[in-house]
Amino acid sequence: MEFIVFYSSTMNVFIGHPLQSGFSRLQVNQIYSLISRYLLDISSIKANYYLREMIGYPVTF
Protein backbone atom coordinates (compact mmCIF):
# COMPACT_ATOMS: atom_id res chain seq x y z
CA MET A 1 0.00 0.00 0.00
CA GLU A 2 1.27 3.45 -0.89
CA PHE A 3 1.19 6.46 1.40
CA ILE A 4 1.40 10.17 0.64
CA VAL A 5 3.46 12.69 2.58
CA PHE A 6 1.98 16.01 3.63
CA TYR A 7 4.45 18.71 4.62
CA SER A 8 4.31 22.34 5.67
CA SER A 9 6.70 25.25 5.10
CA THR A 10 8.39 24.32 8.39
CA MET A 11 9.06 20.83 6.95
CA ASN A 12 6.82 19.09 9.46
CA VAL A 13 5.98 15.95 7.54
CA PHE A 14 2.71 14.09 7.88
CA ILE A 15 1.90 10.70 6.39
CA GLY A 16 -1.59 9.88 5.13
CA HIS A 17 -3.49 7.66 2.75
CA PRO A 18 -3.19 8.67 -0.95
CA LEU A 19 -6.94 8.49 -1.51
CA GLN A 20 -7.37 11.36 0.95
CA SER A 21 -4.55 13.47 -0.44
CA GLY A 22 -5.58 14.70 -3.87
CA PHE A 23 -1.99 14.20 -5.08
CA SER A 24 -1.17 12.27 -8.25
CA ARG A 25 1.09 9.21 -8.33
CA LEU A 26 3.85 11.30 -9.94
CA GLN A 27 3.64 13.88 -7.15
CA VAL A 28 3.77 11.07 -4.57
CA ASN A 29 6.98 9.74 -6.14
CA GLN A 30 8.51 13.22 -6.27
CA ILE A 31 7.74 13.80 -2.59
CA TYR A 32 9.20 10.41 -1.65
CA SER A 33 12.33 11.38 -3.58
CA LEU A 34 12.54 14.66 -1.68
CA ILE A 35 12.10 12.99 1.70
CA SER A 36 14.66 10.30 0.85
CA ARG A 37 17.27 13.05 0.45
CA TYR A 38 16.66 14.00 4.08
CA LEU A 39 17.33 10.40 5.10
CA LEU A 40 20.72 9.94 3.43
CA ASP A 41 21.99 7.86 6.35
CA ILE A 42 19.71 4.96 5.33
CA SER A 43 18.84 3.33 2.00
CA SER A 44 15.80 4.30 -0.06
CA ILE A 45 14.16 0.99 0.80
CA LYS A 46 14.62 1.62 4.50
CA ALA A 47 13.44 5.22 4.01
CA ASN A 48 10.20 3.98 2.46
CA TYR A 49 9.80 1.44 5.26
CA TYR A 50 10.44 4.17 7.83
CA LEU A 51 7.82 6.42 6.27
CA ARG A 52 5.27 3.59 6.13
CA GLU A 53 5.90 2.76 9.78
CA MET A 54 5.27 6.38 10.74
CA ILE A 55 1.72 6.41 9.29
CA GLY A 56 -0.45 8.83 11.21
CA TYR A 57 2.41 10.48 13.09
CA PRO A 58 4.13 13.82 12.40
CA VAL A 59 7.80 13.55 11.40
CA THR A 60 10.07 16.61 11.56
CA PHE A 61 13.18 16.94 9.38
pLDDT of residue 35: 66
pLDDT tens digit sequence for 9-23: 444 445 555 445 555
DSSP strands (E only) in 1-61: 4-7, 12-16, 58-60
Tell the burial category of 32 from Cβ atoms under 10 Å away from its Cβ (0-12, 13-18, 19+): middle
pLDDT of residue 27: 67
* Mean pLDDT, 10 residues at a time, the chain of 61 residues: 47 49 63 63 51 47 39
pLDDT of residue 50: 53
The pTM of the whole model exceeds 0.75: no
